[in-house]
Amino acid sequence: MAIAARHMAARFNRQGFALFDHWVYAIVSDGDLMEGVSQEAASLAGHLGLDRIICFYDQNGISIEGSTNLAFTEDVPARFQANGWHVQTVDGHDTDAIDSAIRAAKAAKGKPHLIACRTHIAFGSPSFHDSAEAHGAPLGEAEVQATKRALNWPSMEPFWLPDDVVAAYRIAGPQGERAEALWRDQLTSYEQTYREEARELRRVLSGKLPENWIMALPRFGPDDKPMATRAASGRVLESLATVIPELVGGSADLAPSTRTYLSGFGDFSRESPQGRNYHFGVREHGMGAILNGMTLYGGLRPYGSTFLVFSDYMRPSVRLAALMGLPVIYVWTHDSIFVGEDGPTHEPIEQLMSLRLIPNLTVIRPADANETAAAWKIALERSDGPTALVLSRQNLPTLAETVDRALEGVARGAYVLSESPLDRVDIILIATGSEVGDALEAQRLLQKQRVGARVVSAPSWSLFDEQPLFYKLNVLPTHIIRRLAIEAGTPIGWEHYVGSYGAVAGINRYGASAPAARLKEEYGLTAERIAEQAQKLMAE
C-alpha cells in the first residue's frame, strides 16, 4: 500500500496539492514476524525507503504453543534495523510512550518504522497473565471480574468505560470528519486547477480502463515468425502500457525471461517513484502479497511474474487475491517440461492443474500469440478476481485458425479451433498451450487414416465452465464419446471433459534435462504419438 501511495503521489500530487500524503499503519504480532513473507516484505520496504509505514509490533512473547522461546529467540528489532528500518522499543501499555514513538517516527525520514511494543497477553488477569491459554479463548465472566478488581476498575458492569475515554473517542469522530472535509476541499480545488489530471485520477480510482484501449491490442498473423507466448505477452504488454498508464508491475528477478519489463517507463525506486517497473527481487511470496496491497489501494492494475513452477512460493497470496476478489494479474512463464535443460526442478507437472483448483482464479494457457493477446484482454477487463497467464518458453507458430477466432474463443474458455476435415467427427482432440499446434498436426495425420478429428483449444477451464450449456454441448457434444485431452502436465482432472470413454495424453512423472524435441518424443507428446493414441482410443 505504501508503494502504491508513493507511485500515486508521484503521478498526481502537484505543488500545494498533496492528495496522497497519508501514513500506512499496521499491527503485527510475533507469529506474523515468524512467517517468511515478513522478511521478504521488510527487506524490500527498507531497500525502497518506504518511510510512511509505521508497524506496531505487539511483542508479547506468546503463541499458540506457549512461549515464543520454544521456536523464536531472534532479536526482531535488530533484524528490522539490519533491513534498513527505523526501530524503537517501548512499553506497549504506556500510551504516552507510544504517542511519543509515533511522533519520533514521523520526524525520521527515509526509512520505514517499527515500534516494538512489549506487552503482556491478558494483562492484569490473575490466572492468565502472559499465558498461552488466553491466546484463543475468552477469559470467562469470573476471570473478567477478577481482572477488573486487579486493575482497580471502578465498575463491574459489562462494557463500562471511564468518562475520559468516552470523551476522547467522542472527539475522534469529528476530528476525522474535519480532516476528510479538508481533503475533499483540496480535491475540489485540484479539479478546478488540474482538470485533465483530476479526470484521470477519477478514472483510475473507479477502475475503468481508458477509452479505446483495446485498439492497442496487437494482432498476429500466420506469416509472423514463431514466438514463445511469453514473447507475445511481452509485445502485448509493451503495447498496452502506452495507453494504460496504471498498468504497472515486475517480476521476482526474472523480467528478462518472463518478458515483463516495460521499456521507456523507468524503474520504481526511492529516487523515482513514478517508475512503472518493480524489481521485487527473489521474493515470490512477498511479490504476491505486495500485488494484493497495491490492488486494494486502488488506482493501479499491477501484474507480477515468475516461472510457473515458482507459483508454489506465492500460493498463499494468490489464494487471498482470489478470496478477496482482487483483479491481480500473474504472468507465469516456462509452463511445461519443454523448458529443456533447466531440468525437473524448473519443469512444472502438477502446478497448472493445482492452480485450476483455486476458486475464483482464472487460469489461461494460450496456444499462440493471438490467444495470448486475448488472454491479456480478459485479464484487464476482469474486476472481481485474479487472472493467471501461463506462457511458454519455446517458440510456437501463430496458428491461422486463431487470427479471427481467438478473441471470442478464449473469452469462452474453449472453442472449436479446427473442425473435422471429413463429413463426420469421430474423435475430439482437446488441447491447451503449446500442445494445440501438435493437436492440429495430429488431426492432419488422422485425416490420412480416414479418422475425422475435431480440434478444440481449451485455454481456460473456468471460463468454459461458466458458458451456457448449449454452447458447451456445441463444443463437446455428448454423443461424441471418443475424446483425447493433450496437455504437458498431470492428467488428473481431465476426466471432467473426456469422460469414461476418453483418454489423456499427459505427464504423470517429473521432467528431465534435455532439449524440448527430445522430451516431446520421450513423453509421447509429438503429433505422431498423439495420432497413435487417438487411433488406439478409436479401436477400444
Give me the CATH number covering residue 460.
3.40.50.920
Given this model, what pLDDT does residue 486 score?
98
Same domain assignment for residues 27 and 47: yes
- Domain contains 196: no
- Domain contains 73: yes
Dihedral, CA atoms, 366, 368, 371, 373, nearest 10 degrees?
A: 110
Same domain assignment for residues 322 and 350: yes
Listed residues 168, 203, 221: the one ending a domain: 168
Same domain assignment for residues 377 and 356: yes
Containing domain of residue 27, as a range? Answer: 2-168
Element (H, E) at 160: none
Given this model, what pLDDT does residue 376 score?
98
Q: How far is CA 539 from the centre of its chain?
A: 45
Q: Which of 537, 170, 512, 492 is nearest to 353 (CA)?
A: 492
Same domain assignment for residues 426 and 379: no
- The DSSP call for residue 270 is S
Given this model, what pLDDT does residue 351 score?
98
- Domain contains 376: yes
pLDDT string in tens for the chain (540-residue length): 999 999 999 999 999 999 999 999 999 999 999 999 999 999 999 999 999 999 999 999 999 898 999 988 899 999 999 999 999 999 999 999 999 999 999 999 999 999 999 999 999 999 999 999 898 889 999 999 999 999 999 999 999 999 999 999 999 999 999 999 999 999 999 999 999 999 999 999 999 999 999 999 999 999 999 999 999 999 999 999 999 999 999 999 999 999 999 999 999 999 999 999 999 999 999 999 999 999 999 999 999 999 999 999 999 999 999 999 999 999 999 999 999 778 899 999 999 999 999 999 999 999 999 999 999 999 999 999 999 999 999 999 999 999 999 999 999 999 999 999 999 999 999 999 999 999 999 999 999 999 999 999 999 999 999 999 999 999 999 999 999 999 999 999 999 999 999 999 999 999 999 999 999 999 999 999 999 999 999 998
Rg of the chain over CA atoms, in angstroms?
A: 28
Same domain assignment for residues 359 and 465: no
Listed residues 401, 426, 446: the one ending a domain: 401
Same domain assignment for residues 446 and 524: yes
Given this model, what pLDDT does residue 136 score?
80
388, β-bridge pairs: 330, 363
Element (H, E) at 25: strand 24-29
Give 188's contacts (C-beta < 8 A, 6+ positions apart).
none
Same domain assignment for residues 160 and 291: no
Same domain assignment for residues 250 and 343: yes
Same domain assignment for residues 385 and 467: no
Listed residues 335, 370, 401: the one ending a domain: 401
* Sole residue written with cell 528478462: 256
Pairing mode of beta strands 453-457, 415-418: antiparallel
Same domain assignment for residues 456 and 526: yes
How far the first Cα of the chain sits from its last, in Å, is: 58
Q: How far is CA 383 from the centre of its chain?
A: 13
Domains identified in the chain, total number: 3
- Domain contains 359: yes
Same domain assignment for residues 23 and 147: yes
Q: Which residues are catalytic?
A: 284
- Domain contains 206: no
Q: Which of 9, 7, 118, 99 is nearest to 54 (CA)?
A: 99
- Domain contains 455: yes
- Cα separation, 301 vs 244, in Å, equals 9
Given this model, what pLDDT does residue 218 score?
96
pTM of the model: 0.96
- Cα separation, 508 vs 346, in Å, equals 16
Same domain assignment for residues 147 and 277: no
Domain at 347, CATH number: 3.40.50.970
- Domain contains 205: no
Going from the C-alpha of 341 to that of each of 337, 406, 522, the distances in angstroms are: 9, 31, 14
- Domain contains 489: yes
